[in-house]
Chain A
Amino acid sequence: EADIYQTPRYLVIGTGKKITLECSQTMGHDKMYWYQQDPGMELHLIHYSYGVNSTEKGDLSSESTVSRIRTEHFPLTLESARPSHTSQYLCASSEIGHISFGQGTRLTVV
């Protein structure tokens, strides 16, 4: 099982603020992902990376951006948070055959 750490677990922030959600994994996995999920709803892929300096947009359009400067680190940034960004954000990484998730960040924009 991969060790994936997301911080913060919960974040309440005002409209217009810039935020960065942190995600780190200790397994040396090349492939990492960000999913967005409203409570009790399906998972939507918003970003993924196949390695350092590789980032791609996922199936669901998102105003967030990501970077992959180090293998273990895949942060997600919102330049100007809005109430519509309120959701849970799940980071994941994969080894051959399956994907493992972090505990998620529950973001609320007020």
Chain B
Amino acid sequence: GQQLNQSPQSMFIQEGEDVSMNCTSSSIFNTWLWYKQDPGEGPVLLIALYKAGELTSNGRLTAQFGITRKDSFLNISASIPSDVGIYFCAGLSSHSGGGADGLTFGKGTHLIIQP
């Protein structure tokens, strides 16, 4: 099946620093999604990207859909304590291999902010 390589696995940063994480794949995706999950909660959608090259912002978050359609990145500017959590990327393709509309999740990036 399709696989997403999400990196880094974890990040230890200082409050106020900028954060960057990305997902890459050997497969082409039609949609890229970025989620954040707080401990004990379900993932919440942060940004959805539907077109190659698209750059979308949501407050301090910015995400881009790679031109090759095989990658995406998420940036967080001026991190604050509430940014702590696990960030998941997800790619959606037209291929249904594996079920669930061909939706594939990365393994997550753990963001830890040191005061």
Is the CB–CB distance between A56 and B99 below 8 Å? yes
Contact of A106 with B103 in the complex, beta carbons under 8 Å = no
* Count of A interface residues, CB-CB < 8 Å: 29
B68 to nearest A CB, angstroms?
A: 20
Docked CA distance A45–B40 (Å):
18
Which size bracket describes the interface of B in this complex? 20 to 34
SS of A interface (majority): strand
User: In the complex, what residues of A have CB within 8 A of residue B86's CB?
Assistant: 40
Are A90 and B100 also in contact (CB < 8 A) when A43-B88, A59-B1 are? Answer: no
CA distance A59 to B90 in the complex (A): 15
Q: B108 touches which one: A42, A90, A104 (CB < 8 A)? A: A42
Report whether A40 and B110 are in contact in the complex, using a CB–CB cutoff of 8 Å: yes
Chain B positions 1 through 43: 1 when the CB is less than 8 Å from some CB of chain A, otherwise 0? 1000000000000000000000000000001010100011111
Residue A74 CB within 8 A of the other chain? no
Contact in complex: A45, B108 (CB < 8 Å): no
Q: Cβ of B99 and Cβ of A42 under 8 Å apart?
A: no
5 A-B interface contacts by CB (under 8 A): A43-B105, A48-B100, A92-B42, A98-B92, A99-B45
